[in-house]
């Protein structure tokens, strides 16, 4: 037993040392295989001598049981957000303000480091042991994600060296690009939706209630600040704080550098911008912080951001490539969207081989031809787009793009109504592409919310001739579902249950789920309130439909056309026969719409609400949520890292709300209440 205890101790020390070498110093000394061997030996000994097991053992990263919900926890000190600089002139202003406040000093020492595109997390170590980890939340309170954070191998469960009595370390949890690509391949193989980008994948992985799932995700963490420190060394600079974090075994950015003055910041920015495509993770800018802590203290804070730091964002990335072909994608409502197939090109760390061309008017306006050299742009989460053609490099063989007369999927005629930018396939649900999109839309979260019905399953069901419209979903049983390739019995049962649960819905959701052209959630809600019943909507004339607030002739015509198509009428009847039901009448929908007629824009990350949630709440109150700021915008709801939309709102003098303001406006409880 003594010998076993000694070996366990020695193994834990070796594992901690090699983790430190691997994750913190980026200097592995043994192979992954040998590392796993050490872990395996430790596991075996702990199984043999359970009395030697401790929660801090590296074998105990994954807790056994999923939790029902995340607890809310208060941060020892608020987690602030950073102001953004979008152009060099903003950094110049920042540096000038810093120097003026400090009494016109010549040049300030800053620490510059990459701004990782991930999620801010705070971790508390008490007496060197990992005690608690939390998301940023609203800055004051976050969610307790300790069980999930413990599964990240790069985060030590015990600190190295002389640990302080209390340490709150802050940093960014992110997913490296390679791990993200692997995860998405697995998602697709499993018939699940791929993640949009590494940031969303990291957020989704950290918000798992079952830490065993988080443990399978390739997450990493990079620390960038101290929140609280008790019983530790006296630190006088931010550089020293970063060095102390590293000393305790916490990873910090290998790119962090002390720079001098504005020019030092801008030179660093230019260097990092060049390195960006080669970095193994996504970054969206550079953070500059005044290095001297005493100066930071003198500068203090304005609103919720420090005056001594700023995030200098990279502009949207652009690159030159060639248009190989233009294909037409058929969407849910039959709209044909031209998509440029490009010679693959690296833009901002991702290979772009397709870009949207929006519609034919856009192609004509930009004069884009097949064979053209073009500039493509990729910014953050948005779909890459072709910015402009370079006619000076146009080859003689370049070809003008023509809209096909027949749908490329089902060969039905394509129609473009007068004055409309969009051409549509007239095949409706007879077109496989429209059928797929119709079912996907019907099952989407904000329509009938059928969990587990991913793209791959929809495609398999269509291939097997089992799905001609959403109504066929209710004819599926778990035996049929289980017979699909790669579908287990349990998943088939779960999907079957999810389909059954979807039968109870609301009229606005059902109307939205039908996927009528131009009928989004707000319009579906307005129609439900105006008419109160599906039968009244489906039999109303276009003129009557137009009486609905915010509904114009185009929408009214689409609604009428939808219910004039016998195929649609039959599908609706079959859905109702299958048991899809809702309560009709105004009371069922909660008639109060205080924000009717008002337009809101969401930007940045709200601490306690996802963008979808905020949008849903605003729309439920009758507001329209738009993607761009204009003079007609009623207010902009801005969260952390808000960008140009916030700047535009300020320029136009439009009201800006934070999450607390939004909650107050909607009369809902403050976050964490």
Min dist. Cβ of residue 55 to ligand I6G (A):
30
CB-wise, 589 or 658, nearer to ligand I6G? 658
CB-wise, 115 or 436, nearer to ligand I6G? 115
| Binding status of residue 615 toward ligand I6G by CB under 6 A | no
Min dist. Cβ of residue 664 to ligand I6G (A):
24
CB-wise, 113 or 220, nearer to ligand I6G? 113
**What is the rounded distance in angstroms from the CA atom of residue 438 to the CA atom of residue 445?**
13
- Closest residue by Cα to residue 157 from 342, 12, 336: 12
Task: Out of 12, 75, 115, 441, point to the residue binding ligand I6G (CB under 6 A).
Answer: 115
What residues form DSSP beta bridges with 74? 141
**What is the rounded distance in angstroms from the CA atom of residue 186 to the CA atom of residue 460?**
17
**What is the rounded distance in angstroms from the CA atom of residue 249 to the CA atom of residue 243?**
10
DSSP string, 364-401: HHHT-EET-EEEEEE-TTSPPEEEEE-GGG--TT-EE-
CB-wise, 301 or 404, nearer to ligand I6G? 301
**What is the rounded distance in angstroms from the CA atom of residue 424 to the CA atom of residue 132?**
54
Q: Encode burial over 135-148: b for 16+ CB neighbours within 10 A, e otherwise.
A: bbbbbbbbbbbbbb
Q: Which two tokens stand for residue 632?
A: 């007609």
Catalytic residue among 115, 289, 313, 645: 115
Using the contact rule CB under 6 A, the part of the chain among 60-68, 112-120, 125-133, 655-663 near ligand I6G is: 112-120
CB-wise, 23 or 224, nearer to ligand I6G? 224
Using the contact rule CB under 6 A, the part of the chain among 113-121, 350-358, 501-509, 564-572 near ligand I6G is: 113-121
| Binding status of residue 82 toward ligand I6G by CB under 6 A | yes
- The Cβ of residue 70 has, within 10 Å, a number of other Cβ atoms equal to 19
Min dist. Cβ of residue 146 to ligand I6G (A):
21
| Binding status of residue 443 toward ligand I6G by CB under 6 A | no
Min dist. Cβ of residue 662 to ligand I6G (A):
21
| Binding status of residue 80 toward ligand I6G by CB under 6 A | yes
| Binding status of residue 287 toward ligand I6G by CB under 6 A | yes
- The Cβ of residue 62 has, within 10 Å, a number of other Cβ atoms equal to 16
Task: Out of 113, 372, 521, 658, point to the residue binding ligand I6G (CB under 6 A).
Answer: 113
**What is the rounded distance in angstroms from the CA atom of residue 394 to the CA atom of residue 400?**
12
Min dist. Cβ of residue 155 to ligand I6G (A):
17
Q: Encode burial over 122-133: b for 16+ CB neighbours within 10 A, e otherwise.
A: bbbbeebebebb
Query: How far is CA 302 from its chain centroid?
Result: 28
Q: What are phi and psi of 454, to 5 degrees?
A: -85, 175
Strands 305-306 and 504-506 come out as unpaired
- Given CA atoms 618, 622, 623, 627 in this order, what sign does their dihedral have? positive
**What is the rounded distance in angstroms from the CA atom of residue 342 to the CA atom of residue 321?**
7
Min dist. Cβ of residue 457 to ligand I6G (A):
38
Min dist. Cβ of residue 286 to ligand I6G (A):
9
Q: 650 Cβ partners below 8 Å, 6+ apart?
A: 656
Say if CB 549 and CB 531 are below 8 A apart: no
CB-wise, 257 or 416, nearer to ligand I6G? 257
CB-wise, 219 or 458, nearer to ligand I6G? 219
Which helix (H) or strand (E) segment is 42 a member of? helix 32-48
- Closest residue by Cα to residue 435 from 475, 471, 469: 469
CB-wise, 129 or 258, nearer to ligand I6G? 258
Min dist. Cβ of residue 289 to ligand I6G (A):
6
Min dist. Cβ of residue 270 to ligand I6G (A):
18
Binding mask 466-505 for ligand I6G (x = CB under 6 A): ----------------------------------------
- Closest residue by Cα to residue 297 from 245, 241, 223, 236: 236
Say if CB 288 and CB 267 are below 8 A apart: no
Min dist. Cβ of residue 41 to ligand I6G (A):
38
| Binding status of residue 120 toward ligand I6G by CB under 6 A | yes
Binding mask 520-559 for ligand I6G (x = CB under 6 A): ----------------------------------------
Calculate the alpha carbon distances from 630 to 412, 601, 627, 649, 650 in Å.
39, 9, 10, 8, 11
Binding mask 213-232 for ligand I6G (x = CB under 6 A): -----------xx-------
Task: Out of 309, 352, 355, 409, point to the residue binding ligand I6G (CB under 6 A).
Answer: 309
Residue 645 annotated as catalytic: no
CB-wise, 136 or 378, nearer to ligand I6G? 136
CB-wise, 220 or 437, nearer to ligand I6G? 220
Min dist. Cβ of residue 638 to ligand I6G (A):
15
Instruction: Count interface residues toward ligand I6G (CB under 6 A).
Output: 11
**What is the rounded distance in angstroms from the CA atom of residue 621 to the CA atom of residue 637?**
15
- The Cβ of residue 647 has, within 10 Å, a number of other Cβ atoms equal to 15
Q: Cβ-count burial of 402 within 10 angstroms (0-12 exposed, 13-18 middle, 19+ buried)?
A: exposed
Which residues within the stretch 155-174 sit at the binding site for ligand I6G (CB under 6 A)? 172
CB-wise, 80 or 209, nearer to ligand I6G? 80
| Binding status of residue 70 toward ligand I6G by CB under 6 A | no
Question: Contact positions toward ligand I6G, by CB under 6 A?
Answer: 80, 82, 113, 115, 120, 172, 224-225, 287, 306, 309
So which residues are the catalytic ones? 115
């Amino acid at each position: 037993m003594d010998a076993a205890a000694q070996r366990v101790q020695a193994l834990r020390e070796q594992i901690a040392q090699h983790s430190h070498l691997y994750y913190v110093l980026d200097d592995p000394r043994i192979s992954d295989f040998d590392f796993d061997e050490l872990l395996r030996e430790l596991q075996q000994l702990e199984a043999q001598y359970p009395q030697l097991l401790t929660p801090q053992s590296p074998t105990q990263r994954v807790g056994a049981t999923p939790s029902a919900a995340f607890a809310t926890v208060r941060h020892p000190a608020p987690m602030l957000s950073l102001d953004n600089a979008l152009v060099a002139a903003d950094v110049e202003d920042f540096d000038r303000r810093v120097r003026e406040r400090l009494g016109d000093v010549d040049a300030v020492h800053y620490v510059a480091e990459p701004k990782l595109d991930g999620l801010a997390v705070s971790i508390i170590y008490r007496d060197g042991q990992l005690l608690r980890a939390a998301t940023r939340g609203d800055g004051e309170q976050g969610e307790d994600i300790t069980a999930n954070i413990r599964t990240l191998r790069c985060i030590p469960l015990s600190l190295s060296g002389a640990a302080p009595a209390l340490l709150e370390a802050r940093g960014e949890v992110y997913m490296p690009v390679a791990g993200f690509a692997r995860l998405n391949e697995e998602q697709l193989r499993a018939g699940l939706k791929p993640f949009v980008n590494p940031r969303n994948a990291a957020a989704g992985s950290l918000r798992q209630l079952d830490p065993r799932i988080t443990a399978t995700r390739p997450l990493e963490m990079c620390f960038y600040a101290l929140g609280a420190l008790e019983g530790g060394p006296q630190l006088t600079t931010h550089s020293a704080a970063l060095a102390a974090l590293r000393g305790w075994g916490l990873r910090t950015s290998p790119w962090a550098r002390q720079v001098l003055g504005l020019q030092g910041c801008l030179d660093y920015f230019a260097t990092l911008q060049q390195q960006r495509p080669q970095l193994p993770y996504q970054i969206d800018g550079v953070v500059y912080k005044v290095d001297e802590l005493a100066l930071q203290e003198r500068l203090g804070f304005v609103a919720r951001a420090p005056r001594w730091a700023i995030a200098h964002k990279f502009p949207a990335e652009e690159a030159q490539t060639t248009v190989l072909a233009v294909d037409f994608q058929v969407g849910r409502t039959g709209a044909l969207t031209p998509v440029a197939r490009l010679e693959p090109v690296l833009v901002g760390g991702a290979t772009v081989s397709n870009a949207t061309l929006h519609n034919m008017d856009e192609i004509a306006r930009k004069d884009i031809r097949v064979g053209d050299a073009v500039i493509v742009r990729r910014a953050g989460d948005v779909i890459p787009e072709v910015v402009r053609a370079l006619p000076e490099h146009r080859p003689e063989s370049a070809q003008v793009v023509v809209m096909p007369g027949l749908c490329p999927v089902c060969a039905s005629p394509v129609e473009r109504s007068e004055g409309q930018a969009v051409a549509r396939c007239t095949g409706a649900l007879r077109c496989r592409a429209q059928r797929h999109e119709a079912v996907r839309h019907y099952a989407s979260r904000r329509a009938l919310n059928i969990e587990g019905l991913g793209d791959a399953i929809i495609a398999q069901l269509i291939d097997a001739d089992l799905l001609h419209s959403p109504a066929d979903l209710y004819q599926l049983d778990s035996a049929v579902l289980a017979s699909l390739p790669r579908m287990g019995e349990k998943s088939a049962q779960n999907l079957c249950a999810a389909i059954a649960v979807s039968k109870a819905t609301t009229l606005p959701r059902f109307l939205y789920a039908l996927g009528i052209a131009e009928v989004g959630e707000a319009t579906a809600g307005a129609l439900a309130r105006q008419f109160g019943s599906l039968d009244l909507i489906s039999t109303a004339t276009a003129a009557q439909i137009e009486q609905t607030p915010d509904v114009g002739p185009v929408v009214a015509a689409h609604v009428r056309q939808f219910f004039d198509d016998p195929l649609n009428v039959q599908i609706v009847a079959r859905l109702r026969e299958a048991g899809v039901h809702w309560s009709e009448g105004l009371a069922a929908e909660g008639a109060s719409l205080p924000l009717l007629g008002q337009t809101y824009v969401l930007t940045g990350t709200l601490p306690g609400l996802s963008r979808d949630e905020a949008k849903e709440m605003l729309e439920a109150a009758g507001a329209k949520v738009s993607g761009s700021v204009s003079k007609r915008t009623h207010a902009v709801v801005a969260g952390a890292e808000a960008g140009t939309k916030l700047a535009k709102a300020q320029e136009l003098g439009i009201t800006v709300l934070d999450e607390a303001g939004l909650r107050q406006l909607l009369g809902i409880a403050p976050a964490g209440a």
